[in-house]
Amino acid sequence: MPVSDLKPRLHSLGLEVVAEGVETRQTWNFLRDHGCDAAQGYHMSKPLPAEELEIWVKSRKSQRPSTAANL
């Protein structure tokens, strides 16, 4: 099922659409443009230990006031 068809169904249930394995800006732009709310993958960051993840999240929040849609 295409992301664009899935988004309204999930949102009607109060759920967010989260993509896994996003490796390129092109992929993220496509998913974002088709209603994906958030994503994870190498495009955002390589896997990090918990302590580094906390630092990464704080640095992202200080750079951009919005959510993953700005990645």
pLDDT tens across 4-51, in order?
A: 677 788 888 998 888 899 999 999 999 888 888 889 999 988 999 999
Q: Which tokens hold the place of 37?
A: 């709310």
Q: How many CB atoms lie within 10 A of CB 31?
A: 21
Backbone angles phi and psi of 21, in degrees to 5: 75, 25
The half-sphere exposure of 63 on its side-chain side, counting CA atoms within 13 A, is 10
Q: pTM for the whole thing? A: 0.63
Q: pLDDT at position 16, please?
A: 87
